[in-house]
């Protein structure tokens, strides 16, 4: 059971933090010294939350194959819908990573034995395991009574809902990522010097195969009749007339029904044998057919291919492909229109996409902490307002604060990214902004043993802009530097005038950022590949906000970094006129 190890697909720090709060609540409220929550990821049990003795943490954070559940559950007896108890002496050595906690030998029949095990099996609607919640070493030294079992069962139900919600959010983020790829290819096609149908076909091939991990793509347009079929490395793929006829007929039906078609080698479906023959000839295992269109009109189709060694298509990928069918259909239609019409359609479509995904993400971000809140509220109804109830209030407060941080960042990003939101410019002295920001992080830096070095050029460093937004821009950069710099390091902030610009640099000796991560660093919900950075909580929106505010103030933000050596962010803003 491993904490988010490289190779596992779950890196949502906000959801993991909520689950950690839940595990701590289980241990404290039910009365156990140890509680562990593991989820099923890539056929492995991966620990995402743990509370207990530190000397056992590293061992318990090692992964187990999900198959260990078979022998564990076979040795267990049911204590409820989810609870399973394994009594000492009724089993041999359990598979997986288990620890026998040191404690006094049991004095009575109801005493907890060091080899006893109690866990809750978490499943989805189909009964498929999605995780386990296990507890050990009761504070009382006794096996849990009926009241504790009922309380633990209700906590397990809340944990199950929280885990399922986290998985739903992962799928949503994947779809948002594919939608972002669609917007990038639309922008590229619309701004190309030869913004024609041919240019759209040529420019979209690379992002499509890269974004979907496909071995090739085929885009066909009906009017004008143009096709573009290429392998991943750009080699031309020959399509027979029979296959073209079948694909055209299917595309019209799929657009009318607003769905995609998955064709897998050897499986029977509504397509003819010519398609299966092509799969065999090209050594492909599966294809996804996506209709392209706008409104009631189907303008063409897109085919994405995968080989036998590639992953199977997920429903989230297929849903995202259908969204891209709308986006790409609009791009092809736009390429045939006048420049003004193309610009209007592109802007409206981007705004609509952004707004819809913002609302969807906001609702999902709210659901995770609300799961904890609602669970604690349910439990609170069964208790009076005593000291124990106050602890519930503390747990709800922590979850609410985290939820509010995410919501605030989302709303700020929406505001500063909206092209129609006005920017009221007033003279702002960046010297004062830097002073305010550093005062806020001084105590945190001091507690970590960091050195804060401030070097500001003499005299005012005036720019024109919004004071609150500029304060947030520098605040995000400085707080990130403090957060990701290990104890004993240094954070250096400099500000000076450079001809017609004011330049502010925030440099640290922290974790650093890989070249691969730097490419997507300023994207919303960007998730780093560095496990050390993932251990720090965050919404994934801070640097997207920084980039949007800088661009909104006619400036820019640049990054220079080497993994393990530190990072320097440079903000350049136009100096205020005389």
- Which pLDDT belongs to residue 431? 92
Tokens representing 199 are 């240019």
Rounded CA-CA distance 131/16 in Å is 14
- Which pLDDT belongs to residue 419? 63
User: Which residues lie closer than 8 Å to 229 by C-beta, 6 or more apart?
Assistant: 216, 217, 218, 219, 236, 237, 238, 239, 303
CA distances from 409 to 11, 383, 521, 545 (A): 19, 35, 16, 8
Rounded CA-CA distance 306/315 in Å is 15
- Which pLDDT belongs to residue 567? 93
Per-residue pLDDT of the chain (578 residues; tens, 9 = 90+): 333 333 344 555 667 788 888 889 889 888 999 999 999 887 888 888 899 888 888 888 788 888 888 888 888 999 999 999 988 877 667 777 777 766 665 667 788 888 888 999 999 988 999 999 999 989 988 999 999 999 999 999 988 988 888 887 777 666 566 656 655 665 565 555 556 788 888 888 888 888 888 999 999 999 888 999 999 989 999 998 888 998 999 999 999 999 999 988 877 766 767 788 888 888 889 999 999 999 899 999 999 999 988 888 888 788 888 988 888 888 888 776 644 564 565 676 676 567 646 655 665 666 666 676 667 656 665 666 567 667 766 666 666 667 767 767 777 777 777 666 678 889 999 999 999 999 999 988 999 899 999 999 988 899 999 999 999 999 999 999 998 899 899 999 999 998 899 999 999 998 888 888 888 888 777 767 676 666 666 667 788 889 989 998 999 999 999 888 899 999 999 998 75
Instruction: Report whether 559 contacts 513 (CB < 8 A).
Output: yes
Rounded CA-CA distance 496/187 in Å is 35
How many secondary structure helices (H) and strands (E) does the chain include?
15, 19
Domains belonging to the chain, first-starting first, are 13-167 (3.30.450.40), 192-336 (3.30.450.40), 426-574 (3.30.565.10)
Instruction: Report whether 44 contacts 36 (CB < 8 A).
Output: no
Number of residues that make up the chain: 578
Q: For Cα atoms 188, 570, 446, give the angle at the middle one, nearest 5 degrees.
A: 135
Rounded CA-CA distance 330/321 in Å is 14
The residue behind tokens 């050897």 is 266
pTM tops 0.85, yes or no: no
- Which pLDDT belongs to residue 467? 92
Please list the helix, strand and coil fractions of the chain in percent, rounded to the nearest 5, in that order.
45, 20, 30
What sign has the CA pseudo-torsion 378, 382, 385, 387? negative
Q: H-type helices in 418-506, by residue range?
A: 430-448, 467-483
């Amino acid at each position: 059971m491993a904490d988010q190890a490289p190779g596992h697909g779950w890196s949502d720090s906000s959801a993991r933090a909520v689950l950690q709060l839940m595990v701590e609540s289980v241990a404290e409220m039910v009365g156990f010294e140890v509680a562990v929550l593991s989820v099923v990821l890539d056929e492995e049990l991966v620990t995402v939350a743990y509370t207990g003795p530190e000397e056992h943490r590293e061992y318990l954070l090692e992964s187990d194959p999900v198959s260990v559940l078979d022998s564990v559950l076979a040795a267990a007896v049911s204590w409820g819908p989810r609870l399973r108890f394994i009594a000492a002496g009724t089993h041999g050595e359990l598979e997986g990573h288990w620890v026998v906690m040191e404690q006094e030998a049991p004095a009575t029949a109801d005493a907890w034995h060091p080899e006893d095990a109690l866990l809750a099996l978490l499943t989805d609607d189909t009964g498929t395991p999605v995780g386990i919640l296990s507890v050990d070493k009761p504070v009382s030294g006794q096996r849990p009574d009926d009241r504790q079992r009922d309380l633990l069962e209700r906590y397990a139900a809340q944990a199950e809902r929280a885990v399922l919600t986290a998985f739903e959010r992962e799928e949503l983020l994947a779809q948002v990522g594919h939608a972002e790829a669609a917007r990038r290819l639309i922008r590229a096609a619309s701004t190309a010097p030869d913004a024609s149908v041919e240019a759209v076909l040529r420019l979209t091939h690379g992002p499509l195969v890269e974004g979907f991990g496909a071995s090739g793509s085929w885009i066909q347009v009906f009017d004008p009749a143009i096709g573009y079929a290429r392998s991943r490395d750009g080699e031309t793929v020959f399509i027979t007339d029979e296959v073209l006829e079948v694909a055209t007929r299917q595309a019209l039906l799929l657009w009318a029904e607003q769905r995609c078609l998955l064709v897998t080698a050897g499986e029977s479906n509504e397509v003819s044998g010519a398609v299966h023959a092509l799969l065999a000839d090209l050594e492909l295992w599966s294809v996804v057919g996506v209709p392209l269109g706008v409104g009631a009109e189907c303008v063409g189709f897109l085919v994405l291919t995968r080989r036998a060694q590639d992953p199977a298509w997920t429903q989230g990928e297929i849903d995202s492909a259908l969204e891209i069918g709308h986006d790409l259909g609009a791009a092809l239609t736009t390429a045939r229109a006048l420049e003004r019409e193309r610009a209007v359609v592109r802007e409206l479509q981007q705004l609509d996409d952004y707004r819809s995904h913002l609302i969807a993400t906001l609702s999902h971000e709210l659901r995770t902490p609300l799961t904890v809140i609602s669970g604690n509220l349910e439990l609170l109804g069964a208790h009076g307002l005593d000291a124990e109830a106050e602890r519930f209030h503390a747990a709800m407060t922590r979850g609410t604060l985290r939820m509010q941080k995410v919501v605030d960042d989302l709303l700020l990003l929406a505001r500063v990214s909206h092209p129609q939101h006005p920017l009221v410019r007033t003279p702002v002295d960046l010297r004062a902004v830097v002073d305010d920001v550093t005062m806020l992080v001084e105590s945190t830096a001091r507690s970590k043993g960091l050195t804060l070095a401030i070097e500001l050029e003499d005299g005012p460093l005036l720019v024109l802009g919004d004071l609150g937004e500029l304060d947030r821009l520098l605040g995000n950069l400085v707080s990130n530097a403090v957060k990701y710099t290990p104890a004993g390091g240094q954070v250096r902030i400099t500000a000076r005038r450079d001809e017609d610009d004011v330049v502010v640099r925030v440099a640290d000796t922290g974790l650093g950022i890989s070249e691969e991560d730097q490419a997507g660093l300023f994207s919303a919900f960007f998730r780093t590949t560095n496990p050390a950075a993932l251990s720090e909580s965050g919404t994934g929106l801070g640097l997207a906000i920084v980039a949007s505010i800088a661009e909104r103030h006619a400036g820019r933000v640049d990054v220079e970094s080497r993994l393990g050596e530190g990072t320097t962010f440079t903000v350049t803003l136009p100096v205020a006129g005389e």
